[in-house]
A and B are shown apart, each in its own frame.
Chain A
Amino acid sequence: MIIQFICRAILLGVPLLFGSTGEIITEKSGHLNLGIPGIMYVGAISGVVGSFVYENACGNDITVMNGFLAVIIPLICAIIGSTIMGLIYSFLTVTLHANQNVTGLALTTLGIGLGNFLGASLINITGSELPSIALTKTSSFFASKLPLADDLGWFGELFLSHDFLTYLAIIIAVITSLILNKSRVGLNLRSVGESPATADAAGINVVKYRYVATCIGSAIAGLGGLQYVMSYASGVWSNNAFGDRGWMAIALVIFALWKPSFAIVGSFLFGALCNANNYIQGLGTETQELFKMLPYVVTIIVLVITSMRKKREHQPPAGLGLSYFREER
């Protein structure tokens, strides 16, 4: 029971971890990308389209499908789709100096709309009765467990039974943490987000760093959308099912104090909080809704505590949300 609860929390947390790791990288460059929910949507639908095409190409026959291709095609599609979103965001905010918040919100609207449009189109193509597309074959490749997962009892279930995207999310978060704190690239990136003028004067290409960080961040966030469809929803896409997970990922960034290592713990905690209502007996539907509020309440509490402690290292990057022009006077 408790093992099951934890595994469920991890499963729910992984999209958030992808989303928030991506957003942390983006925010460290000084971009407050509120387009993350839309980008995760686009990541999901791009993966869905990719695997849909591949499944059809193989005549919907699982024996014809190559396991590697079945995984890599949706993965690459998701990365391409969400990177394009990141590019749009960077082009608008860096090159055209558009307001970051407005651009981000517009991208969220665009991404969700695009996802629903493509989703509905695919449903139309299949002529399905249900308002969803099932890619269960692709999903089964995504869900391959590690060897020994079933033999080691609770240990296997807790640590080895997850899909590979879960491990990928944790690895990416750890690598991101190392790069941010221990490498020159990380130092440069942080300086771009804290004080672009300083970075510029130090000879760092602010435009390049902002573009690249935003695109990489978007690509990672997009994987979160893919993981949701392929692992959590077992390959079933239905419009709007992804819900407000993108916003929760942004809240998680604040919760994690812009640290990817904290985001790992935070995402699983958020997953547990999201899921708590299903494990507590005797809740009415209205109290269940109250329970779904928990992740946000926790975020607000963390915000209050960190702003009271006023430790400078725990504050958002100083240049967050600000455009940078060099020849400004």
Chain B
Amino acid sequence: MAKQPAIELKNITKRFGAKVIANKNVNLTAYRGEILSVLGENGSGKTTLMNMISGIYFPDEGQIFIDGKEAVIASPKDAFSYKIGMIHQHFKLVDVFSAAENIVLGIEDGKYNLKKSVDEIKKISSQYGFNLDPEKKIYTMSVSEKQTVEIIKVLYRGADILILDEPTAVLTPQETDKLFEILRRMRDDGKCIIIITHKLHEVLSLSDRVAVLRKGEYVGTVNTSETNESDLTEMMVGKKVDLNIERLETGDCQDRLVVKNVTCYDRVGAKVLDDVSFTAKSGEILGIAGIAGSGQRELLESIAGLQHLSSGEILYNTPKTGKVENLRDKTPMQIRNMGVRLSFVPEDRLGMGLVGNMDIVDNMMLRSYSKGHSFFLKRKKPKDLAMKIIHDLEVVTPGAGTPVRRLSGGNVQKVLVGREIASSPTVLMVAYPVRGLDINSSYMIYKLLNEQKKKGVSIIFVGEDLDVLVELCDRIMVIGGGHINGIVDGRNTTKEEIGLLMTKSKYNGKEKDNG
């Protein structure tokens, strides 16, 4: 059976302002009854391209053909009429609405009858094997439930071209498998499925064909059966990249940070950390895995002195002297004055890590401003440091005087990591350090972490990509609902094992509001 092209893009170009070209001359065809992956690094224009198909943006040049006929998609409404449905990476759901209300939102089909819609939703759920309560409010849902709502939302509108933007970024391996199962069922049902991702193994396991974008340009399309990871990476990056992450063996491991029975509550009084105990050792990378919002952030903030603990203690063994300091209820400044060299790369880079409107040099001084004793600032040293970081970490910037908010995500992260490492820490905490980074930058960050590990630094690494955690970390601690579900050895664990630990929760079934 010859496959019917469902959607064809011809010479699509999209600019933002005069300088930024998000997509340039992109040609792409997706057929019915197939899963097409659109692969590319962050900033390669995948999402922009898909936003043009779903009517959020309008192309500056080029044509879109649906079922062989030219289509003008000027608004999301137009996209619906062409039966195109997009599942966004950042869910577009109204929190205080129920699933059913979100699903019917914006549909104009005569009488408003929520009860009938609920029945319809249940029918779709059972057809494709979803598990969803249509009456449940969005804000009580887990991430994967929210995604289910998004998918049913487009199916409810009768979409037969489905676009999924990084659907697995927030899912556990088990949830991912379940999603893929459903997607395959839809493909067999004759739908055209386009999935945007930068995870190579997912591309290989799920899709029929892969289209690759690089820096907004279309590189080519290959059949999944005729390609492999390193070929795809080469297409994506434009050069060969060594995809192995090294795990150094340092041997000399002493207890550096001992966290004992830490419990803490958030502002509303919900338990965010529940009796957490672990030890971070020098010369070791301790990975932390868990579903987003399971207490990772609070854990790092507790150690950094930014959270009030209701019980437990955090003990720091000073290297050489062996003196034990208790960090509980100390401010970051007190911790620093005690001689504890703690570095923290928070997940919110421009919120907690750097000041977006200040330039690189000034951001360097944030860490050391209290050292000077004269009335006026001495900018020589921080300037040297800034230049060193720009040079060593290949930060792409017009100069050290550029406000950091104008840098791209990867470069912002390099500046932040560079600054934290420059203070020669003994404990380095990094949260999602490669989020939003391209492959080259990611591997540079891994290399930097390994260098620090070699120096005997104790590294705590909160990550989301389980493949990376398993390859990079010596031990992986799995956190779920603020509780430590287990600590496994990185050398002999699998991501399935970690995934199971992530979902195993003593609060199973009881939803928590992470808003």
Contacts and interface: CB of A to CB of B under 8 A. Distances in A.
A190 B104 CA distance: 13
Given A202-B76, A327-B57, A194 B96 contact: yes
B94 A190 contact: yes
B16 A329 contact: yes
Contact of A326 (B56, B80, B513): B56
Interface string B425-438: 00000000000000
Interface in B62-114: 75-77, 80, 86, 88, 92-97, 101-102, 104-106, 108, 112
Nearest to A319: B94
Main SS of the interface on chain B? Answer: loop
Contact of A198 (B16, B75, B93, B104): B93
B115 to A, nearest CB: 12
Contact of A197 (B92, B97, B102): B92
A199 interface: yes
Contact of B94 (A194, A310, A327, A329): A194
Given A187-B101, A329-B16, A201 B76 contact: yes
Contacts of A284: none
A134 to B, nearest CB: 48
Given A187-B101, A200-B76, A329-B16, A312 B106 contact: no
B1 interface: no
B96 A313 contact: yes
A200 B104 CA distance: 14
Interface residues of B, number: 28
Interface string B226-245: 00000000000000000000
B105 A187 contact: yes
Nearest to B112: A184
Nearest to B108: A184
A64 B152 CA distance: 65
B247 interface: no
Nearest to A327: B57
A312 B139 CA distance: 8
B105 A204 contact: yes
A203 B107 CA distance: 8
Contacts of B93: 195, 198
B96 A202 contact: no
A99 interface: no
B454 interface: no
B105 A188 contact: yes
A190 B515 CA distance: 19
A183 interface: yes
Contacts of B515: 312
Given A184-B112, A200-B76, A191 B105 contact: yes
Nearest to B20: A329
B402 to A, nearest CB: 19
Contacts of B139: 312
A183 B112 contact: yes
Contact of A204 (B86, B106, B112): B106
Interface of A: 182-184, 187-188, 190-191, 194-195, 197-204, 310, 312-313, 315, 318, 326-327, 329
Given A187-B112, A201-B86, 12 more contacts: A187-B101, A188-B105, A190-B94, A191-B94, A195-B92, A195-B95, A197-B92, A199-B105, A201-B76, A202-B92, A202-B106, A203-B106
5 contacts: A183-B112, A184-B112, A190-B94, A204-B106, A312-B137
